[in-house]
Structure 1
Amino acid sequence: MIIHEEGRIESLRRENFLKGRLLKKGFKDANDMLLNLKVNVERNESFKDVWKKTIGAIKRNIAKLQIDESFIESISFGRNKITIDNLEIEDDVIVILRDFAKKPVSYNEVSHLLISGGDLPESGYSLLQGTIPPTKHKRKWRLSRGPKNVFYMVLDFPTLAADVFLRNAVWEFAIHNPDHIRRHLIRSIVDARLQNNFCSVLVADDESGIRLLKEMDDLVSGISRKNGSTVAECSVYELVPKEVCSALYGNSDGWDAIDRHESFLLRQFLYRTALVPFLRELKMLQYESDAREESFATHARVWQLKKNIPLKTQEAMKTSVFLEKYSAVEYDADVDLQKIRSIEKEFERFCSTFPVPKSTGSFRVRKLGNYRASGLYFPFHQATCVDIDGASSYGHELLHQIDYTYLPDGRLSETLEFRRVYDLYERSVCLAVNVLPKDDPFRSRWYGKTKYNEDYYLQETEVFARCGELYLHEVMGVRTSLLDESYDNPVYPKDEQLLKAIKEYYEQILPLTIQTDQSEPHESSGATQDVSQERMEAQYPDDLFVVQEEDNQLAFNF
Structure 2
Amino acid sequence: MEKVTTLKKDKGTRTFTKLKINTNERLDKIIDSIVKFIAKDLTKQEIDLSNFKEYLIFKNFTLSAVENLNERESNLIRNTFYKKDRRNFYQAYDLSIEDVNQNYLNVLTNTLDISSKARRGAWRMSTHTNNDCYQKICDVKYLYGMLKLLDITYEYCMSDNEILTESFGKCSIYGNCYIEEDINNLVKLEKVVGFKSTFRLTDKMMQLIIDVILIKQLSDYNIERMEQYSRDIHSEVARAFETKKNIPQKIKSVMNNNKFLDNFSYVELDSDTDLDKFKLVEKEFLRIKKLFDMDKIKKAELRIRKLGKHKSLGLYYPALNCLCVDITSPSSFMHEFGHHLDYTYSDKPLSLQYDFRNIIRAYTKRYDSHLDGNPYLYRKRSYFLTPTEIYARTFEMYLVIKGVSTSFLKDEDDMRIINGYPDMDKEFISVINSYFDKFKFNFHELDEKEPIKNEITNTIDIIIEDIKYYAAKQVSFF
Q: TM-score range by the shorter chain?
A: 0.5 to 0.7
Provide the rounded CA distance (Å) in 2 between the counterparts of 1:152 and 1:462: 54
Aligned pair 1:34/2:1, yes or no?
no
Question: 1:315: how far off?
Answer: 3.0
Instruction: Say which of 191, 216, 234 aligns to 1:278.
Output: 216
Unaligned ranges ≥5, structure 2: 1-9, 125-131, 193-201, 443-470
Deviation at 1:322, TM superposition (A): 2.3
- Report 1:419-458 matches (<5 A): 419=356, 422-423=357-358, 426-427=361-362, 429-431=364-366, 433-434=368-369, 436=370, 438-442=372-376, 444-445=378-379, 451-452=382-383, 454=385, 456=386
Identity of aligned residues (%): 22
Q: Which has the higher contact order (CA 8 A, sep 6+)?
A: 1
Aligned length in residues: 410
Give the equivalent residue in structure 2 for 1:529.
473
Deviations 1:166-185 (A, max 9, x none): 221222222222x12224x7
Whichever residue aligns with residue 88 of structure 2, its letter is S
Tell me which residue corresponds to 2:334: 395
* Partners of 1:124 and 1:153 within 8 A in 2: yes
| In the alignment, structure 1 residue 262 sits paired with structure 2 residue 190 | yes
Q: Which residue of 1 aligns with 2:264?
A: 326
Equivalent in the alignment of 1:506? 436
Map of 1:173 onto structure 2: 156
- The residue number in structure 2 matching 1:93 is 77
Query: For the residues of structure 2 that align with 1:375 and 1:299, how far apart are their CA atoms?
Result: 11
CA distance in 2 between partners of 1:84 and 1:365 (Å): 66
Alignment-derived partner of residue 59 in structure 2 = 78
Is the 8 Å Cα contact of residues 364 and 386 (structure 1) preserved in structure 2? Answer: yes
TM-fit CA distance, 1:328: 0.3
Tell me: CA distance 1:481–1:59, structure 2 relative to 1, closer, same or farther (3 Å).
same
List per-residue Cα deviations over 1:225-255 (Å, max 9, x = no partner).
xxxxxxxxxxxx65856723xx6xxxxxxx3
Against the structure 1 CA distance between its residues 57 and 445, is the aligned structure 2 distance closer, same or farther, given a 3 Å change threshold?
Answer: farther
The separation in 1 between residues aligned to 2:39 and 2:339, in whole angstroms, is 36
**1:157 paired to 2:140:** yes
Task: Give the C-alpha shift of residue 120 in structure 1.
Answer: 11
Alignment CA distance shift 1:38-1:240 (3 Å): closer
* Alpha-carbon distance change, 367 to 272 in structure 1, aligned in 2, over 3 angstroms: same
Q: Given residue 67 of structure 1, which amino acid in structure 2 is its aligned partner?
A: I
Q: Is the 8 A contact 2:314 2:474 kept in 1?
A: no
Matched, 1:469 2:408: no
| Residue in structure 1 matched with residue 198 of structure 2 by the alignment | none
SS in 2 for 1:385: strand
Pair member with larger Rg:
2
Measured at CA, do residues 391 and 528 of structure 1 come closer, stay the same or move farther in structure 2, by a change above 3 Å?
Answer: farther
Q: Deviations over 1:6-29 (max 9, x none)?
A: xxxxxxxxxxxxxxxxxxxxxxxx
Residue number in structure 2 paired with 1:487: 415
Q: TM-score, normalised by structure 2?
A: 0.68
Match of 1:351 among 286, 289, 300: 289
Partner secondary structure for residue 123 of structure 1:
strand
Instruction: Find the aligned partners of 1:427 and 1:72 in 2 and give their Cα distance.
Output: 45
**2:43 equivalent among 31, 38, 63:** 63
* Structure-1 separation of matches of 2:315 and 2:474: 17
Q: Give the alignment's Cα RMSD to 1 decimal.
A: 4.5
Distance 2:234 2:474 in 1: 29
- Which letter does structure 1 place at the counterpart of 2:13? L
**One-letter amino acid of the counterpart of residue 385, structure 1:** C
Shift of 1:470: 0.9
Distance 1:476 1:43 in 2: 44
Q: Residue 362 of structure 1: SS of its match in structure 2? A: strand
1:182 corresponds to which residue?
Answer: 164
Structure 2 CA distance for aligned equivalents of residues 162 and 472 of structure 1: 47
Secondary structure at the counterpart of residue 138 of structure 1: helix
Compared with structure 1, are the counterparts of its residues 377 and 132 closer, same or farther at alpha carbon in structure 2 (3 Å cutoff)?
farther
SS in 2 for 1:124: strand
Give the deviation of 1:397 after TM superposition. 1.6
Residue aligned with 1:180, SS: coil
**C-alpha offsets along residues 504-530 of structure 1, whole Å, 9 cap, x if unaligned?**
543441448xxxxxxxxxxxxxx9628
* CA distance 1:163–1:470, change in 2 (3 Å): same
Q: Determine the structure 2 residue equivalent to 1:195.
A: none
